[in-house]
């Protein structure tokens, strides 16, 4: 049994009487690329919120435990503490610093210096500059490095945010609908990138686009969320064949 880097056990979260997440249990193993699908309102965003400290679970356990680190209880930590542990998140709607240049967005995200006084006296060294250049090439924004992020097209912002995520070099990447607003070609390239990241990083990708899911899932596990808990887990074709899944999700999806 491989080592779970992320353990979510029996977690429940209620908003004003509405159970967004109910008795959810979920394990992410080191180096895994996990795809999470589910209809709207299945609790995908809340699920990410709980892991990243944006929301606190009412009950249940959320722990982070890469092989190299001691087990950490995430339910007591703040957003930035969780991020510093090595859990990065890409939001559904691209959230970049619109008034900063593309370069500065990456500088802000680069792994390292986070303290108040440290940032005052921080200077980029040449390895860091090289790393940013490398990322700029990867996300194909090298010639727009001085552009304000707010001036980029939607798809470019998506790429920039992926670049920012990579810059922070997290162990776990939580990626919410990366393909939204991208062309087919870009979507495919995103898929390739995510697949290449697996192994070294552990990824959870939430996605609606079934072609994209099929591309990245391959032989990896797909988790189907429904009404705040796991409906089923398995390989893409298994999940696709599951009668309940067809009923609540794929059935509707296949009509068009």
Partner 1 sequence: MTDTTSPSTSVNRTRFRAELSAVGVIAVLLLVVFPLLNAQGVVSNFTLGVWGKYLCYALLALSVDMLWGYTGLLSLGQALFFSLGGYMHGMYLMRMIGDLGQYRMPIPDFLVFLGWKTLPAFWEPFDSFAFAMVMVVLVPGVLSFLFGYLAFRSRIKGVYFSILTQALTYAAMIMFFRNNLLMGGNNGFTDFKFILGHSLVDPVEGPKTMRGLFIATGVVLLLVYGLCRWLSTTKFGLVQRAIRDGENRVLFSGYAAASFKLFIFVLCALIASVGGALYVPLAGIINPEEMKPEKSLEAVVWVAVGGRGTLVGPILGAVGVNWLKSWATRAFPDLWLIFLGALFILVVLFLPGGLVSLPSRLAPLWKRLRGPSAGTEAASPATKG
Partner 2 sequence: MRNTIHRFLALATLALTCAGVGTAAETARETIARAALAGSDRAQREIIGSLAGRSDAAIPELLDAWKRDELFLYAPADGQAPVPVQLTGTPDAAGTRTAVRIADGAPLTDTAGQPLRLIPSDLKAVEHTSGLRRAMKAVLDLVDLGSPDPATRIKAIDTLGKAQAADKLPVLRTRLESETDDDVRDKLREAIALIELKAADDATRIAALGVLADLHTLGSADFVEAARREAETAGRAEIVAAARTAQRAIEGHRSMVDLFGTLFRGASTGSILLVVALGLAITFGLMGVINMAHGEMIAVGAYTTYLVQNLFGAGVVIPFFGLSLAIPGLGLSGGAYNAYFIAAVPASFLAAAVVGVGLERSIIRFLYRRPLESLLATWGVSLVLQQVFRLVFGANNVQVSSPSYLSGNWTINEIIFGWNRVFVIGFGILIVFGIWLVLTKTPLGLLMRAVMQNRGMAACMGVRTERVNMLTFGLGSGLAGLAGAFLSQIGNVGPSLGQSYIVDSFMVVVVGGVGNIAGTVISAFGIGSIDQVLQQYLPSWAPGMAGVPFIGSFLQNLAQDSAVFGKILVLGMIILFLQWRPAGIFVTRSRSLEG
87 versus 225: smaller Cβ distance to partner 1 = 87
Q: Which of 3, 9, 10, 15 binds partner 2 (CB under 8 A)?
A: 15
Which residues form the interface with partner 1 (CB under 8 A)? 52, 54, 78-80, 83-84, 88-89, 91, 95-101, 103-104, 107-109, 113-116, 119-124, 145-146, 164, 168
Report the C-alpha gap between 96 and 94 in whole angstroms.
6
DSSP 100: S
Q: Is the dihedral of CA 242, 248, 47, 113 positive or negative?
A: positive
91: contact with partner 2 by CB under 8 A: yes
Binding partner of residue 16 among partner 1, partner 2, none, CB cut-off 5 to 8 Å per kind:
partner 2
18: contact with partner 2 by CB under 8 A: no
95: contact with partner 2 by CB under 8 A: yes
The strand ranges marked E within the chain are 4-15, 18-29, 33-37, 59-64, 72-73, 87-90, 172-176, 202-206, 222-226, 229-234
Report the C-alpha gap between 32 and 221 in whole angstroms.
9
7 versus 92: smaller Cβ distance to partner 2 = 92
Total binding residues toward partner 2, as defined by CB under 8 A: 6
Residue with token string 């670049």: 163
Alpha helix segments (H runs only) across 75-209: 79-85, 102-109, 116-120, 126-138, 154-167, 184-197
16 versus 143: smaller Cβ distance to partner 2 = 16
Binding partner of residue 58 among partner 2, partner 1, none, CB cut-off 5 to 8 Å per kind:
none
Binding site for partner 2 (CB under 8 A): 15-16, 45, 91, 93, 95
């Amino acid at each position: 049994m491989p080592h779970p880097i992320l353990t979510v056990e029996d977690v429940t979260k209620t908003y004003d009487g509405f159970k967004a997440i109910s008795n959810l249990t979920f394990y992410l193993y080191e180096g895994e690329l996990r795809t999470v699908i589910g209809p709207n309102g299945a609790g995908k965003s809340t699920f990410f919120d709980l892991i990243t400290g944006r929301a606190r679970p009412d009950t249940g356990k959320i722990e982070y435990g890469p092989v190299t680190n001691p087990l950490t209880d995430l339910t007591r930590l703040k957003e930035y503490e969780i991020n510093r542990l090595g859990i990065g998140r890409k939001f559904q709607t691209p959230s970049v610093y619109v008034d900063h240049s593309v370069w500065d967005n990456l500088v802000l995200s680069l792994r390292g210096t986070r303290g108040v006084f440290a940032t005052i006296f921080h200077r980029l060294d040449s390895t860091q500059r090289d790393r940013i250049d490398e990322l700029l090439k990867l996300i194909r924004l090298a010639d727009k490095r001085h552009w304000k992020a707010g001036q980029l097209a939607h798809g470019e912002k998506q790429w920039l945010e992926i670049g920012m995520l990579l810059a922070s070099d997290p162990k776990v990447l939580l990626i919410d609908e990366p393909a939204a607003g991208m062309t087919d070609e870009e979507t495919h390239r995103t898929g390739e990138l995510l697949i290449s990241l697996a192994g070294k990083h552990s990824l959870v990708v939430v996605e609606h686009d079934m072609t994209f899911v099929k591309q990245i899932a391959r032989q990896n596990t797909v988790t189907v969320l429904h009404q705040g808990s796991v409906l089923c887990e398995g390989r893409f074709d298994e999940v696709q064949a599951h009668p309940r899944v067809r009923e609540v999700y794929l059935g509707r999806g296949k009509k068009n």
